[in-house]
Amino acid sequence: MKKERKNGRKTKKPKKIIALAKEGKRKFTLTTPIVADYIEFIAIREMGLAKKLLPKDCQNEKAFLVKHGYSDKSRNVFGYYELIEGFWKAVESIQGKYKHVLREIGMTGMIKRAEGMTVTKQNLSWGKPVDVKEEIPPDVKACERVIQFGGGIVEDNVNVAGLVDGIRKAAAKLDGEDN
């Protein structure tokens, strides 16, 4: 038996299974539907987009197994999938497909921060929660960053009102590139 370290603990995998997986004699390949789904599942989960992109009945490994007809205790099947030649390269290629979602999330937050916003906070007043609205002014650094992402050049004299207009143009330009 070959011992490997995974997450700080020893795991035992029989040499026969490893040899079969390397020779390609297993019934699973990268194009097998469950393996393709697992590749996408791993890629999305590693990027931290599981709650945003995965269906609600497939948020973790147990739910994934149940959805695909396995018992929720047969997690060892994932080890067979990961031994397939080119598995992790396929995961990286799928992650490249979803990078635009990360950029979209980041740009939404950056644009909100750059334009300024109203935030509602809850404070306690005499033991009761009270909603307090607070204005956050436009952030100059966020404005500069959004303009740089859009391909613009930031000059030394920063005019926040002008930058907010530039932000909207830069965001529209970025949206045009994705489509």
What tens digit of pLDDT does each residue of 147-166 get? Answer: 776 666 666 555 555 666 66
**Amino acid occupying residue 177:** E
Give the pLDDT band of residue 105 (cuts 50, 70, 90): confident
Q: Tell whether 130 and 78 lie within a shared domain.
A: no
Same domain membership, residue 145 and residue 81: no
Of 75, 97, 119, the residue at which a domain comes to its end is: 97
- Token pair for 96: 């490249």
Q: Which of 9-18, 26-35, 69-78, 134-143 shows the lowest per-residue confidence on average (mean pLDDT)?
A: 9-18
pLDDT-derived band of residue 89, with 50, 70 and 90 as boundaries? very high
Integer Cα distance of 28 and 67 in angstroms: 18
Distance (Å, whole) CA 47 – CA 64 = 17
Q: What pLDDT, on a 0 to 100 scale, did the predictor assign at position 179?
A: 45
Cross-strand pairs, 151: none
In tens, the pLDDT along 5-59 reads 555 555 555 555 555 555 555 577 888 888 899 999 999 888 888 888 888 888 8
Please, which pLDDT band fits residue 90 given cuts at 50, 70 and 90? very high
**Residue 71: alpha-carbon gap to chain centroid:** 27
- Residue 85 and residue 108 share a domain: no
- Is 134 found in the same domain as 172? yes
Expressed as residue numbers, the domain containing 113 is 102-178
User: Are 107 and 86 members of one domain?
Assistant: no
Residues 82 and 118 in one domain: no
- Say whether pLDDT at 178 is over 60: no
Q: Does the pLDDT at position 61 exceed 80?
A: yes
| pTM for this predicted structure | 0.55
Mean of pLDDT over the chain: 76
Boundary residue ending a domain (97, 114, 146):
97
Number of structural domains found in the chain: 2
Indicate whether 174 and 143 sit together in one domain.
yes
Judge if 125 and 84 occupy the same domain: no
CB atoms within 10 A of CB 21: 20
- Whether 93 and 111 map to the same domain: the answer is no
Same structural domain for residues 71 and 6?
yes
**Average pLDDT in the 72-95 region?**
86
Domain boundary among 97, 127, 157: 97
